[in-house]
Amino acid sequence: SAVISQKPSRDICQRGTSLTIQCQVDSQVTMMFWYRQQPGQSLTLIATANQGSEATYESGFVIDKFPISRPNLTFSTLTVSNMSPEDSSIYLCSVERGRKETQYFGPGTRLLVL
Amino acid sequence: GESVGLHLPTLSVQEGDNSIINCAYSNSASDYFIWYKQESGKGPQFIIDIRSNMDKRQGQRVTVLLNKTVKHLSLQIAATQPGDSAVYFCAEKGPGTALIFGKGTTLSVSS
């Protein structure tokens, strides 16, 4: 498995502001992923972040809204920009580990936008 | 688009019963499947996985069954305990594709 931490664990923000979420992994990984989980819903992939290259965004998600950094093999950040109440969600990072490329998840960041 | 779905949004069982959570997937190219458990306030926790070259895999108190003919996946939990209460997600992955999650089943265990 993998030990993954996220900061902050939760936050309440005002609309129009931005929040940067940090994800730290206990060992080096090639691929890191960012997901959004809206209230009572399943997980939706936002983007895949590989170290040394631009993040790859899924349909419906754009870099201007969700800029991602991947400065090294154990760390990534996701910024939720110009927030609106519709951005209220749990944001989760995950990593692939092992021969089967199993994905393991962090504890999530619970964001409420007022 | 392609998606993974679960048959029932909620499942209520008595402590000690066996639980079966079902999932239908639509992408016949998917070759790797994972079950996750998500407790309130936590991230999804890996439970068990299975490759498409298998039809059954057992863990501790859990069994995953894969029926590729009808594109169906199930998670069986033996002797369900109150600590098993959570939301369960199936997820599928194909070669070169991202992990796709189903909608989730909320398991409630009463003692």
List, in sequence order, every residue forming a beta bridge with A78; answer none if it has no partner.
Answer: A21, A68
Selecting from A4, A45, A107 the residue whose C-beta is nearest the C-beta of B98 gives: A45
Q: Residue B96: pLDDT band by 50, 70, 90 thresholds? A: confident
Helix (H, G, I), strand (E, B) or coil at A104: strand
Mean pLDDT of B65-71: 95
CA closest to B48 among chain A residues: A102
Residues of A in contact with B51 (CB under 8 A): 100
Which residues share a beta bridge with A50?
A31
pLDDT in tens, A15-67: 999 999 999 999 999 999 999 999 999 999 999 998 888 999 999 999 999 99
Q: What is the CA radius of gyration of chain B?
A: 13
- Contact list, B34 vs chain A (CB under 8 Å): 102-103
Please check the confidence at residue B49 and state whether its pLDDT lies above 70: yes
Contact A109, A13 (CB under 8 A): no
pLDDT the model gives residue A100: 79
Mean pLDDT of B16-37: 94
Q: For residue B78, give how far its alpha carbon lies from the nearest alpha carbon of chain A (Å).
A: 23
